[in-house]
Amino acid sequence: MRIESVGQRSALGLVAAGIALACGNAALAAGTGQPEPWQIAMQNPMSEVARDMHLFHTWLVWIITAITLLVLALLIAIAVKFNERANPVPTRTTHNTLLEVAWTIVPVLILVVIAIPSFRLLREQLIIPPADLVIKTTGNSWYWTYEYLGEQAGFRFDANMVQQNDLKPGQPRLLATDNDMVVPLNKVVKLQVTASDVLHAFALPSFGLKIDAVPGRLNETWFKPEREGIYYGQCSELCGNGHPYMPIAIRVVSEQAYAAWLAEAKQKFASTSGRDAVKLAASTR
């Protein structure tokens, strides 16, 4: 009686979990710009590259599912048709030309079907369109430095993780920074990524960004944000004991808000132009 009641409770638990999974799919999916508790999907894409990456991922999942079901069906058919009871006298067939050609050509065709959209996606990632904004991103142990390049910028600042005791309402733990990278909406942003000490990796899922930061080397990537908000990422390369505390926060704002922030940032952060450096040296004499 006890075993039966335990079995009933287990069955009810599985049914309840299935209903929760079916009805709460939106809650289990990742949010926009940051991870969600108990998520089972990737973060919502907020750029064209990230959206194409998600489509390619879904395409691969369907292909993998079809292959898995085919292999499962073949295993079941072999187990049923060629077991000792159903087939007491085993066949002595050693070759089947049609079968051997098929299992050689079909995988090649599958790889071609995968390669075409893969190369198209790589081309989209690697060929950077004309940029509206260029930001040099330097990985340090263990924080990021953002340098806004160009005639209208010429300043840099560091972005450190906000400690748990200093978090403001709405700021996620281990992801919020004291200074966010701010970019305008619907503008092409080119990132030049490097490192000052050890290997790091600049990764932000909602924009489909992940690129290594290598000392002495300048890697480039790009994104074009499609919605205002704050999007979070992290260093994705084991870079020392401070690796978990190296978050990335990109704040996407309107053009008007970006212009106002740019004017304020030029006054707030250190300038990287030689002229201002000369002025600073002269003023300290």
State percent of the chain over pLDDT 90.
57
Q: Would the pLDDT of 254 be above 60?
A: yes
Report pLDDT digits (tens) over 70-93: 999 999 998 888 888 877 887 777
State percent of the chain over pLDDT 70.
84
pLDDT at 196: 92
Complete domains list, the chain, with CATH:
48-126 (1.10.287.90), 133-272 (2.60.40.420)
The residue that leads in pLDDT, 234 or 271, is 234
Report pLDDT digits (tens) over 5-26: 444 544 444 444 444 444 444 4
pLDDT at 39: 81
| 36 pLDDT tier (thresholds 50, 70, 90) | confident
Q: Would the pLDDT of 269 be above 90?
A: no
Average pLDDT, the chain: 83
Q: Would the pLDDT of 28 be above 80?
A: no
* CA–CA dist 195, 147 (Å, integer): 13
| 248 pLDDT tier (thresholds 50, 70, 90) | very high
pLDDT at 30: 59
Within 8 A by CB and 6+ apart from 273, the residues are: 154
Report pLDDT digits (tens) over 224-237: 999 999 999 999 98
pTM of the model: 0.76
